[in-house]
Structure 1
Amino acid sequence: MAAIHEFGPFRLDAEAGILFRGAEPTPLGQRAVQLLALLVQRAGMPVSKDALIEAAWPGQAIEDSNLTVQMAAVRRTLADGCGESQWIETLPRGGYRYIGPAVTSSASDRTTAPSLTLPERPSIAVLPFADLSGDTEQDYFADGMVDDIITGLSRINWLFVIARNSTFTYKGRAVDVKQVGRELGVRYVLEGSIRKTGGNVRITGQLIDASTGMHVWAERYDRHSDDIFALQDDIAMSVVGAIAPSLRRAEINRVKRKRPDSLDAYDLVLRAQPDVDSGMPEQVTQALVLLERAITLQPSYALAHGNAAMCHHCLFLRAGLQEGSRAASIKHARSAIAHGQDDALALTLAGFSIGMDGHDRAAAFTALDAALAISPSSALTYILGSVMLGWGGDSDRAIEWSERGMRLSPFDSWAFAAFDAQAMGHFHRGRYEEACRAAYRAVQANPRHSITHVQLAAALAKLGRLQEARAAAARVLELHPTFRYGRQFQGVNCAPAPAASLGEALRAAGLPE
């Protein structure tokens, strides 16, 4: 039996580690919730520092300052929730006491809730968002937002998404995400709130691992629009675009805890993913070992082929422009397309390899368009597409696609490629200051990737900052000793106009042709 404590406008579920204000969860962390739970359980009675520390940090030796920080968070949350921070009294001899409104405690029996087996794929339930607008006629907006998010997530074929009819049974209820996870058989739960005033809308969302109660992702969106349905679509796409890579990272961390001999094809691809995304020859070589095991286990696994294509693409461009690497990239890309007609990520990776290594940009964008038809919120599709547009000399679309990709996934592991595309686009348009800024951001996102320093050297040279340009060029050769810009341009099928202007700048920076 789990105790639920209600006081003032608050409801505290100690087992779930959540303090609610009405139906809306507050941002109070789990340790602070445990401290508050002990205080309200002993309402009106002094509670020593030692007892509080044991409640929040059982068996740990910590400094009193940790307790002070958490108690300040409790008071701040109470003040934010009802304008009252004096419900917790500090006692002179070292302790605290709850002196707020009367506390009503009740038992909540969760043991009777059915517990479903988790599916093999990562699984998620999107709960109805709390409408904080105070206008029940605005419910349609909150519900429509959740419908759009569920639809967007359902297009991600590696994700198991609970249908709307099941999740909307929780509407208007203060829920424990761990209980939701057990009842619906999902690993992740997305919850949020909407506050709409006129044309101004604030949406908050948080993704929680239901097995641990820990936050995976949280974000707030502030928007203004007179077209409420366009706003709804915009927010839903942004939420889906941000959640997908967050779920990937969470799943990768989960798989890292499994024994290597217990990994199936899906787990092998997840474990390889960070090395694939690094764009570093040494790491993609390690990734290929895992990906080849996955393909042996499941020869029709489109995403394994797509990732293998990206690995061979990296080896082709950064490890000697060997024909064998280029051929392997194209071969795996074709397999990814053949087996992945419903997999936006596999189509994206395959399209990029066919465009960059096969020099068939028409076929590449056919694959990317198919990926966006399946999953319009696929940030990586826009990011990798922007790179191809940049090398192809389509500067404006390169910038547009890269910015769209970064809006969908601001902290994407491929952010360096998006900034590279922006740098190329601005460079080709003669906007060298903007190109320099984008190149610096690319270097910051992935300082070990030689191409980021290539873009920086070119922009600096055009700005007349030759000493800095030569330093960037030296870094290129340090990272990629065999780099020759003429061969590199040929390898990626760089359009003639950008090849000429980039080549002139790189020659001035001291890079060999």
Structure 2
Amino acid sequence: MTQQRQSGTYKFGSFALDAETGALFYSGAPILLGQRGAALLRLLLDRSGSPVGKDALIEAAWPGLNVEESNLTVQIAALRRALEQDGGGRWIETMPRRGYRYVGPPVTRSAANMDEARSPATLLLPEKPSIAVLPFEHSGEAAWLAGGMVDDIITGLSRIRWLFVIARNSSFVWRGPVTDVNRVGHDLGVRYVLQGSVRRADGRVRVHAQLADAASGAHIWAERYDRTVGDLFALQDEIALAVVGAIEPSLRRAEVERIRRKRPDSLDAYELVLRAQPEVDSGMPDRAAIALPQLQRALTIDPTYALAHGLAAMSHHNRFLRAGLNEEDRLASVRHAWLAIEHGRDDALALTFAGFSLGMDAHDRQAAFAAFEAALALSPSTALAWILGSVVAGWAGQAERAIDWSERGLRLSPFDPWAFAAYDAQALGHFSRDHYAEAANAAYRSNLANPAHSITWVQLAASLAKLGRLEEAKAAAACVLELQPTFRINSQFAGVACMPELATKLGEALRAAGLPE
């Protein structure tokens, strides 16, 4: 493991740049280079071989200031003049409409005393879960792809409101394979560390990413992506989006397990919400009854906690739809949904839960999809927005959208706690199209993902009945009533405002399976 900090020296060709003072030397002789030029050179060398956007360069040289792009052009020209010996003026490549890239001799970094370079103090962990994304290892020809992918991942994670993400300039002091993630966590003050590698060979790009708990070193999540080389920028975006989408639910599960090990009397609003999350994710009313008191305590501590309102909305939805269609629960679901939107305009997950309640309980699908789309504009990797949006679309009879959105959600987060809902939406979509074998297949997947959720059995019973497999359909219907004794076909469809044509077809199938009117 190698660690470099701003107190070290960059060496490239016959040049050396002191990272701390910004002094530039050529064969040991000093060269005049201003503070802004040094900041630009430092960033370009840090990301050697990778494109650096104009916005990032301006922020490095003029932090916090609003300056014209022409200022950057002037500074880059001055920097090229400072490097003109040995042909160094050609080492900074202009990338039209994108930025610049260092393409000179290999860059090495060193620190006079690595023990002094490390901060002796232990950084306190932020209250929120925290993560550092380290530079991905790469083969030479994949350098820019690895750098761009990590930038995209950091940007995507930074959009997750409940997550504290270490800035790139801090996490990129670590280079090469890191075996001691505990040390990374200690030095950067983070709970989780993401590492990876990018390899390009034989017309393919292979990316491996893994997430570890910095305290224990245990792996929380790992995935490999193998793609054919085509549009590399699109590929970079696709894989970065997939990584962010998969990390979010994995981090949540890890955080829930961590909180469960703490004493209950030490909880604050955030930890109460984490404890409630798995109960809400179950989709069932008995578990909602466990979640709601914890969410109410969280909202007593912080009445503007948008995610707590969103989860409360979902909890009341679960009680309303699967525990007697109590109007009080429906009104509470809608009330918390609007409060989640009011207080969570920058919280993608809160907007997602709010959108679902508005679509399912207020029967306002226009407002629902406005909330889903706002969530996705904030954080395109929010798999749950695609998944819950697909459910609303499914009951609305929008078969194409139900299938498309559910597939998008599962592509981002194939092992999401809400994967069962995505498969439910697929079953509804295929059922609407009279594709009953596909609907049954999706219903089986939903059932495997969450057999304790009554609606997974509803979809299965209906699909099997349409296929003429009545004995199996009746067995599935018996499971519906075991899980949800109050289930009645007409009241259930009224509760979700099922599209009339779909309700007619589903109703016929469910009556054939033996479910009560």
Question: What is the TM-score with the length of structure 2 in the denominator?
Answer: 0.76
**How many Å apart are 1:174 and its aligned residue?**
4.6
- In 1, the alpha carbon distance for the partners of 2:486 and 2:119 equals 66
Which residue does 2:125 correspond to in 1? 118
Residue 428 (structure 1) aligned with residue 435 (structure 2): no
Which residue does 1:150 correspond to in 2? 154
- In 1, the alpha carbon distance for the partners of 2:355 and 2:398 equals 17
Which residue does 2:243 correspond to in 1? 239
What are the superposed Cα offsets for residues 159-197 of structure 1, whole Å, 9 maximum, x if unpaired? 000111111222346563211111111111100101112
Contact preservation (8 Å) 1:316, 1:322? yes
What are the superposed Cα offsets for residues 270-325 of structure 1, whole Å, 9 maximum, x if unpaired? 01111111112111101101000000000000000000000000000001001000
Q: Could you tell me the percent identity over the aligned residues? A: 67
Which residue does 1:129 correspond to in 2? 136
1:418 to 412, 415, 422: 422
Which residue does 1:473 correspond to in 2? 477
Which residue does 2:69 correspond to in 1? none
Which residue does 2:24 correspond to in 1? none
Contact preservation (8 Å) 2:142, 2:198? no
SS at match of 2:244: helix
Residue 181 (structure 1) aligned with residue 188 (structure 2): no
- Flag the 1:277–1:173 CA change in 2: closer, same or farther, 3 A: closer
- In 1, the alpha carbon distance for the partners of 2:425 and 2:348 equals 21
- In 2, the alpha carbon distance for the partners of 1:145 and 1:247 equals 20
- In 2, the alpha carbon distance for the partners of 1:175 and 1:275 equals 36
SS at match of 1:410: coil
Contact preservation (8 Å) 1:426, 1:434? yes
Which residue does 1:487 correspond to in 2? 491
Contact preservation (8 Å) 1:345, 1:381? yes
Which ranges of structure 2 fall in alignment gaps of 5 or more residues? 1-113
What are the superposed Cα offsets for residues 70-125 of structure 1, whole Å, 9 maximum, x if unpaired? xxxxxxxxxxxxxxxxxxxxxxxxxxxxxxxxxxxxxx969864321110000000
Which residue does 1:306 correspond to in 2? 310
Q: State the number of aligned residues.
A: 404
- In 2, the alpha carbon distance for the partners of 1:374 and 1:112 equals 35
What are the superposed Cα offsets for residues 138-163 of structure 1, whole Å, 9 maximum, x if unpaired? 31110000000000000000000011
Contact preservation (8 Å) 1:442, 1:452? yes
Which residue does 2:259 correspond to in 1? 255
- In 2, the alpha carbon distance for the partners of 1:352 and 1:399 equals 17
Contact preservation (8 Å) 1:402, 1:422? yes
- In 2, the alpha carbon distance for the partners of 1:206 and 1:240 equals 12
- In 2, the alpha carbon distance for the partners of 1:403 and 1:297 equals 38
Contact preservation (8 Å) 1:113, 1:182? no
**How many Å apart are 1:469 and its aligned residue?**
0.9
Q: How does 1:267-306 map to 2 (within 5 A)?
A: 267-306=271-310
Letter in 2 for 1:347: L
SS at match of 2:319: helix
Residue 497 (structure 1) aligned with residue 501 (structure 2): yes
Letter in 2 for 1:255: I
Letter in 2 for 1:252: V
SS at match of 1:193: strand
SS at match of 1:456: helix
Letter in 2 for 1:484: R
Contact preservation (8 Å) 1:343, 1:371? yes
Which residue does 1:340 correspond to in 2? 344
Letter in 2 for 1:449: H
- In 1, the alpha carbon distance for the partners of 2:202 and 2:120 equals 41
**How many Å apart are 1:413 and its aligned residue?**
0.8
Q: CA RMSD in A?
A: 1.5
- More moved, 474-483 vs 248-257: 474-483
- In 2, the alpha carbon distance for the partners of 1:138 and 1:435 equals 42
**How many Å apart are 1:224 and its aligned residue?**
1.3
Q: How does 1:27-426 map to 2 (within 5 A)?
A: 113-131=120-138, 133=139, 135=140, 137-172=141-176, 174=178, 176-426=180-430
**How many Å apart are 1:198 and its aligned residue?**
4.7
Contact preservation (8 Å) 1:113, 1:179? no
- In 1, the alpha carbon distance for the partners of 2:482 and 2:342 equals 39
- Flag the 1:318–1:226 CA change in 2: closer, same or farther, 3 A: same
Residue 457 (structure 1) aligned with residue 464 (structure 2): no
Letter in 2 for 1:411: F
Contact preservation (8 Å) 2:160, 2:347? yes
Which residue does 2:514 correspond to in 1? 510
